[in-house]
Amino acid sequence: MNPIRYFTLVVFTTLLMGVAFPVGKIGLAYAPPFLMTGIRFVVAGGLLAALVANKPRPRGGKQWLQAAAIGLIQSAGVMGCCYYSMRWISSGESAIITCTNPLLVIVFGTLFAKASYTGRQWLGVAAGIAGVAVTFGFRVGSIQPGTWIAFAGAACFAAATLLVKRWGPAFDMNVLAAYQMLAGGIALLVLSAAAEHPVFIFTPASVAVVLWLAVMCSVVQFSLWYYLLRNGDPAKTSAYLFLVPLFGVFFSWLLLGEKVDWYVGAGGALICVGIYWVNRAKSAGSAAHAAGRT
């Protein structure tokens, strides 16, 4: 792929990931979090399913269950926690915490998948953990409930990443994206009916928020991300995930006027460094392995 095209697409994709946080918080003025997120993913999943209707669907009950499980963890778990956390914390803080998932992948992979990681990757995890502590000014006693909810979302994100790595090769990735979003969206609508007062306030602004989240931050974002993973070096592409919390904090300031304290910026920077180290170490390891086989 042309380097300029690659860089432009990867920055645009991570920008969409980051801007979803403040736009989602704007949407909470028109609907409760589970309802807003459920509508987003049902619309996005339906649109993407229509676009990939000519591609192979999941085969047999096992693959349908796998797609549904990924949807429950990724779309419902991650974004449900993310939006719900913003009742207590800023969208910038939610972006920073939720985007620690590449660091948690290392921890979960070691504990549950018996994966082996380099010392540099573990240094990245340590830098990320330090960044989380700095982000909240070491105020352990005054951490908001939204902080723990955002951490739960990051844990769901890490778990979903490991499941996609294990089950994903059997699927067309765009098809998997479509049906996991549908499954997650339906689960969130059921949860909303049980736990919220599910009222959506129809205004031009609320419809614009849903369409932006569904089309740009879901269909376009997923499609571009999978395109980049298929047509470039996946490890190199994943290294750019450090941009997501930066974009999240920047657009939270730009769109919502959220104040960014110095320690939030410093902690976010440490988390970004940790994510970068984790993924660059993976990239270097992949390159060395490939060189050894030539």
Cα-only R_g, the chain: 18
- Note the pLDDT of residue 234: 63
For residue 291, pLDDT over 80 is answered with no
User: What confidence tens digit (pLDDT) does each residue in 136-179 have?
Assistant: 665 555 577 888 899 899 999 888 888 888 898 899 989 999 99
- Quick check: 273 and 142 in contact, CB under 8 A? no
For position 200, what pLDDT does the model report?
A: 96
**Span 87-115, pLDDT tens digits:** 888 888 888 888 887 778 788 888 877 77
pLDDT of residue 138: 56
pLDDT at 55 over 70: yes
Residue 188 has pLDDT above 90, yes or no: yes
Say which residue the tokens 């998932």 belong to.
Answer: 101
Cα dist from 227 to 1, 85, 91, 100, 204, whole Å: 11, 30, 28, 23, 32
Q: Higher pLDDT residue, 21 or 243?
A: 21
Q: Where are the alpha helices (DSSP H) in the chain?
A: 3-27, 33-51, 60-71, 80-85, 91-98, 101-112, 119-135, 145-167, 173-195, 204-211, 221-231, 234-239, 243-256, 262-292
Q: Assign 201 to helix, strand or coil.
A: coil
Query: Residue 251 pLDDT > 80, yes or no?
Result: yes
What is the share, in percent, of the chain residues with pLDDT greater than 70?
A: 89
Measuring CA to CA, which residue among 157, 166, 180, 167 is closest to residue 107? 157
The residue-averaged pLDDT of 54-83 equals 93
CA distance 31 to 50: 26
Query: Could you give the 3-state DSSP secondary structure of residue 116?
Result: coil
Classify the phi-psi angles of 232: left when phi > 0, otherwise alpha if psi is within -120 to 50, otherwise beta.
Answer: beta
Q: What is the pTM of this model?
A: 0.82
Q: What is the mean pLDDT of the chain?
A: 85
